[in-house]
Amino acid sequence: MPETKPVLMQGNEACAEGAISAGVRFYAGYPITPSTEIAERMAARLPGLGGVFIQMEDEIASMAAVIGASIGGKRTLTATSGPGFSLKQENIGYAVMAEIPCVIVNVQRMGPSTGVPTAPSQGDVMQARWGTHGDHPIIVFSPASVYETYYLTIAAVNLSQKLRQPVILLLDEVIGHMREKVFIPEDSKLMVEKASDKVPADYKPYDEKGLTPLVPFGFGHYYHVTGLFHDQYGFPTGDPLQVERAQDRIHAKLDKYRDEVVLTNYIGHKEPRVVIVTYGCTVRSARAVIKKAYWQNRQPVGLLSLQTLWPFPAKEIETLAKQADVILVPEMNMGQILGEVERHVKGEAEVIPINRYDGEMISPDQISEKMGRWLS
């Protein structure tokens, strides 16, 4: 695709630009550090594109407004951080249940509660998975650079449209506020994947047979949208058989499109003994370690960075566990993705956590020190 000259940009700005490239024309949000630049960029950009920017009265309303606009046919995005992400949870569950596409950005800061608003953290990994109540499918991306933020935002918007499923972008303060080079394509229309427009007269927005595009309100299809379990036309049901089927169907969507949903990236030795598994800004420290240990010293090490945190890249971890003796899991929390890694390693390799939760990044030294012990 045609690219222009590189632009120096902040992660938060790249997120906003990615959204615009992917056709997002509606943003509702509420100011919160360290995500505010996304709202500010959208406020500056959307009016010129004929889009809507609205600052709502709170995070709950922002999430609701985004869902409302999606039902009106807009591509939508909202951004927030920890406390605001907590407030959005109920309506995120609504979007999952009613299968309304939308993208929610959480630029993580240190929690719990007000925490350290300006300090980076990766403490919302489990909240992103299980923040809203009830069993539910969710897609969570976690970019490790400004450029990756741009592209993962586009992927998030397109995937959310295709699967009619909310997608969460879990940035961290480091990625959100860091400035890096980004290539923005000249023709941003290229980035928009169109869902099929073919709609039968007997439109079933929740067709049991598989994915159906969401026909926006106002086109003569009088279906119902609700957070209650519902039948194929959207009408409430409490019938155990229909409830179970609906629950299975919304989960199956993600399994079926796993290849598009689960994104990881491996660099390093072909037959590694020690592998680092990490995500977000911690990938950067890990990459510095690999640069020295593998590219310079040819040691048997590797790095699996997880662009997708949820659904968890289980297969990729299972494969790794068969090759490596040791898996290091650095993360800026007290150990959240760690449990998932252990679950899928199934004792086939040693899993070693490296944690930091003082509002500072994990340094390359902190990782290489642990790594060295297993290589000697």
Partner 1 sequence: MAVIESSTQDYLRTKKLPHIWCPGCGNGIVTAALIRAIERADYDQSDVVIVSGIGCSSRAAGYLNFNTLHTTHGRALAFATGLKMARPELKLFVIMGDGDCSAIGGNHFIHSARRNLDLNAVVVNNHIYGMTGGQHSPLTPTGKKATTAPGGTLEREFNLLDLAKGAGATFGARGTAAQPRQLEQLIARGANHKGFSVIEALSPCPIAYGRKNKLGGAVDMLRDMKDSSISVERAAGMEEADLKDKKITGVIYNYDVPEYAEVYYRSIGKD
- Report the interface residues with partner 1, using CB under 8 A: 26, 28, 47-48, 50, 52, 54, 56-58, 60-62, 64-74, 76, 90-91, 94, 216-220, 222-228, 235-236
Tokens of 184: 């923005």
Query: How crowded is residue 127: how many other Cβ atoms within 10 Å of its Cβ?
Result: 21
- To the nearest whole angstrom, how small is the minimum distance from the Cβ of residue 356 to partner 1? 37
Q: Are strands 167-172 and 139-141 parallel, antiparallel or unpaired?
A: parallel
Nearest to partner 1 of 228, 252 (CB atom): 228
How far apart (Å, rounded) are the C-alpha atoms in residues 242 and 367?
Answer: 50
* Closest C-alpha to 157, from 218, 94, 77: 77
Nearest to partner 1 of 225, 345 (CB atom): 225
- To the nearest whole angstrom, how small is the minimum distance from the Cβ of residue 220 to partner 1? 4
- To the nearest whole angstrom, how small is the minimum distance from the Cβ of residue 65 to partner 1? 3
Nearest to partner 1 of 223, 357 (CB atom): 223
Nearest to partner 1 of 215, 361 (CB atom): 215
Nearest to partner 1 of 224, 291 (CB atom): 224
How far apart (Å, rounded) are the C-alpha atoms in residues 316 and 343?
Answer: 13
* Closest C-alpha to 281, from 210, 199, 360, 351: 360
Nearest to partner 1 of 9, 69 (CB atom): 69
Written as one letter, the residue type at 53 is F
- To the nearest whole angstrom, how small is the minimum distance from the Cβ of residue 141 to partner 1? 23
Burial (CB count within 10 angstroms: exposed 0-12, middle 13-18, buried 19+), residue 264: middle
- To the nearest whole angstrom, how small is the minimum distance from the Cβ of residue 206 to partner 1? 14
- To the nearest whole angstrom, how small is the minimum distance from the Cβ of residue 43 to partner 1? 12
Written as one letter, the residue type at 326 is V
Tokens of 78: 């909202």
Tokens of 69: 């606009």
Q: How far is CA 117 from the centre of its chain?
A: 21
- To the nearest whole angstrom, how small is the minimum distance from the Cβ of residue 57 to partner 1? 4
Nearest to partner 1 of 69, 140 (CB atom): 69
75: helix, coil or strand?
Answer: strand
